[in-house]
Amino acid sequence: MLTRITPDHPVRSSEITSETQYESRRQFLAEAGLIGLGVAGMALAARNAGAQTPQQGTSIGGAELKPELTPWDDVTSYNNFYEFGTHKSDPAEHATRFRTKPWTVKVEGLVSKPGSYSLEDFIKPHKLEERIYRHRCVEAWSMVIPWLGFPMADFIKSVQPLGSAKYVEFTTLLDPQQMPGQRSPVLDWPYVEGLRLDEAMNPLTIFAVGVYGKMLPNQNGAPLRHVIPWKYGFKSCKSIVKIRFTEGMPKTAWSVANPSEYGFFANVNPTVDHPRWSQAKERRIGEFRRRDTLMFNGYAQQVASMYSGMDLRRNY
């Protein structure tokens, strides 16, 4: 079943994606091996979603902003995915032959139900939802993207973390033959990211398997990535192969590589500058003007309480 999550302000279906793209979701299901897994009607539901009443609302920053979706061509051609190269065009160019089938995700650590899951088994128990989120890169550019996925909290509940689990660690595939960027020492591979358990359980945090109603393109983190819209983009782990529950804070790729610039929390905070540029302004891809960066990327109402009492300049 598809549950469509919409922002606080109305967004017409025509502004999100075309009927042709909606129809492509059946191809998405077939290619992902999801036909028969309880979501076979997703394409039809998505096509009719514009006439349905949303089951819940998810703000993307406030009705007054009226954000426009970033075009598909920009979403899929302007990417940070260092496993395929450090230039924004490298992922789209170098990930074309990346193999995402078969795909296995290992669940380890402080959980009652560890194990190895095929992508199909990983997705099978969950409802796929469409989420429209604003995203902010630490390099001061931003996008608005319609993801297809499911709440990370649903997955976490299903594997039953132990009481001692305080963090969730994510690891990207390590395969320098397929991922030429991993032949460079720019990072200590594989890419590792982490969230505090309450951050992972927040309703805004999702596992994404698609974008614009299609399977995730390789350059966007296929076949499985997570999305945390109130954090800078580097916090999202792509092409995930391992999820580990831990008691201690994970050592993450960028915080190890350059701790003075990339902290563990990575919350969007316009009052804390990057050492090499200001974070007070951002430029939406496709626009020339710069706009003010919002605290927590505009999601303060949903997430600020998790950081009550924390020094957000020190815990950047």
Q: How does DSSP assign 64-129, residue by residue?
A: GG-PPPPPHHHHTTS---GGG-SSTTHHHHH-TT---SS-EEEEEESBSS-EEEEHHHHHTTS-EE
Q: What is the CATH number of the domain that holds 262?
A: 3.90.420.10
Give the pLDDT of the chain (316 residues) as one tens digit per residue. Answer: 444 444 443 333 333 433 344 344 445 555 555 544 333 333 333 333 332 222 233 333 333 333 578 999 999 999 999 999 999 999 999 999 999 999 999 999 999 999 999 999 999 999 999 889 999 999 999 999 999 999 999 999 999 999 999 999 999 999 999 999 999 999 999 999 999 999 999 999 999 999 999 999 999 999 999 999 999 999 999 999 999 999 999 999 999 999 999 999 999 999 999 999 999 999 999 888 999 999 999 999 999 999 999 999 999 9
Instruction: Identify whether 315 is part of a domain.
Output: no
Instruction: Identify whether 312 is part of a domain.
Output: no
- Asked if residue 207 lies in contact with residue 150, where contact means CB atoms within 8 angstroms, the answer is yes
Question: DSSP character for 295?
Answer: G
Instruction: Identify whether 247 is part of a domain.
Output: yes
Give residue 295's identity as a one-letter amino acid code: M
- Spell 101-125 as b/e; 16+ CB within 10 A means b: eebebebebbbeeeeebebeebbee
Q: d(Cα 74, Cα 283) in Å, to the nearest integer?
A: 14
Instruction: Identify whether 31 is part of a domain.
Output: yes
Q: How many residues does the chain have?
A: 316
CA end-to-end span of the chain, whole Å? 38
The pLDDT, as a whole number, for residue 12 is 38
The pLDDT, as a whole number, for residue 81 is 98
Give residue 178's identity as a one-letter amino acid code: Q
Query: Per 3-state DSSP, what percentage of the chain is helix, strand, and coil (rounded to 5)?
Result: 30, 25, 50
Instruction: Identify whether 53 is part of a domain.
Output: yes
The pLDDT, as a whole number, for residue 48 is 32
Burial of 15 (0-12, 13-18, 19+ CB in 10 A): exposed
Q: Give the domain extent around 243.
A: 2-307
Instruction: Identify whether 316 is part of a domain.
Output: no
The pLDDT, as a whole number, for residue 67 is 53
Instruction: Identify whether 58 is part of a domain.
Output: yes
For the chain, the domain total comes to 1
- Asked if residue 105 lies in contact with residue 32, where contact means CB atoms within 8 angstroms, the answer is no
The pLDDT, as a whole number, for residue 68 is 79
Phi, psi dihedrals of residue 210, rounded to the nearest 5°: -155, 170
Q: d(Cα 284, Cα 136) in Å, to the nearest integer?
A: 9
Instruction: Identify whether 227 is part of a domain.
Output: yes
SS3 189: coil
- The tokens describing 226, both together, are 């997570």
